[in-house]
Amino acid sequence: MIKHWVRAGIAALVVVTGPVQAADPFIVVQSTTSTQNSGLFDAILPWFEAETGIDVRVVAVGTGQAIRNARNGDGDVLLVHAKPAEEAFVTQGWGVSRQDVMYNDFVIVGPKDDPAGIRGGSSATAALKAIAEAKAIFASRGDDSGTHKAELRQWAATGVDVAQASGSWYRETGSGMGATLNVAAGMAAYTLTDRATWLAFGNAHGLEILVEGDPRLFNQYGVILVNPDKHPNVRAETGQRFIDWLVGPDGQAAIANYKLDGEQLFFPNAR
C-alpha cells in the first residue's frame, strides 16, 4: 500500500511539474520609477515580448533599492541611472558588464509665482543656491534613487547643507518621482525631476519647468546582467537576450519612437 501511494505521488508530481517547466520564459528586471512612471516600459516591452516570447517582469523602485535587490539576487537584469553606483556594482562582481542604453536630462520645476526667482536659468547650482537663500520649500525624493543622488550632487556643489535644513524648507518625501511631484504640487514647492516623468505627469497644478539645459543635469541610463556566478538562479541566457535587444537596433528604435504629445522622452545611445 505504501509503495502504491509513493508511485502515485511520483506520477502526480510528474504530471503537475511538467507544464510548469514548459511555461513561457520570463525575466525579472530591477529598474527605476522613472522608466516605469514615464510609460517607457509599457511602450517598448510588448515589442520584445512579441519577438521573443519572453515575459519581462519589472520591479520599479529607486536606483539604490534596485541595486540592492539585484545584489541580493532578486532579479536577472538591472536597468538604472546612477553610473558610478552601476560601475561599482560590476567592479564588486555583482554584475557581468555595464552598457549605456539611453539618456535624457533632469530639470528643476517649481511654482509659477517662483518665490526664489530662478525662472529661465540654466545653472542648477545657482538655482539651488537661490532656493536655499529664500528658504523656499524644496521637495526631495530622499530615497537613494538615481534622481536623489543627482540632486545631492548638485547641492554638494552649492555648499548648502541640506541635511541641516531637513524638515524646515527642505522636505524629504522618501517616495518615487511621481509621488514627489504630487507633494511638490500640493505644497507649491520646487523639486528636481527627470524630464520623462515630468512629461508623463498629469497633476502639475501650478508647477512648471523653471531651470533646464545645464550639462550637469545629464541623465544616463545603463543596463547590467546580474552575475550568475554570484546567484545561480539568475536567468542569464534570457536576461542577456533582453540586453542584446535593448542595445541593438530594434530596442534602440523602440526607445527613440516613444513620445508623448510629440515629444521624445528618452534618447538611445548604446554603443
Burial of 128 (0-12, 13-18, 19+ CB in 10 A): buried
- Residue of 230, 204, 250 lying closest to 94 (CA atoms): 230
pTM for this predicted structure: 0.86
Contacts 24+ apart (CB under 8 A), 113-122: 113/188, 114/210, 116/190, 118/190, 118/210, 118/211, 119/210, 119/211, 120/210, 120/211, 121/210, 121/211, 122/211, 122/212, 122/213, 122/214
Residue 23: pLDDT band (50, 70, 90) is low
What per-residue confidence (pLDDT) applies to 17? 36
For 105-217, CATH gives 3.40.190.10
Please check the confidence at residue 4 and state whether its pLDDT lies above 60.
no
Q: Specify the DSSP class assigned to residue 24.
A: P
Predicted confidence (pLDDT) per residue in 112-171, tens digit: 999 999 999 999 999 999 999 999 999 999 999 999 999 999 999 999 999 999 999 999
User: What average pLDDT does the segment 58-80 reach?
Assistant: 96
Q: Which residue, chain included where needed, has cell 548638485?
A: 154
CATH 3.40.190.10 segments of the chain: 26-103+220-268, 105-217
User: What average pLDDT does the segment 66-82 reach?
Assistant: 97
Residue 88: pLDDT band (50, 70, 90) is very high
Predicted confidence (pLDDT) per residue in 162-189, tens digit: 999 999 999 999 999 999 999 999 999 9
User: What average pLDDT does the segment 237-259 reach?
Assistant: 98
User: What average pLDDT does the segment 3-21 reach?
Assistant: 37
Please check the confidence at residue 13 and state whether its pLDDT lies above 90.
no
Asked if the 26-103+220-268 domain carries CATH number 3.40.50.300, the reply is no
What per-residue confidence (pLDDT) applies to 267? 98
Burial of 11 (0-12, 13-18, 19+ CB in 10 A): exposed
- Residue of 186, 140, 187, 183 lying closest to 163 (CA atoms): 140
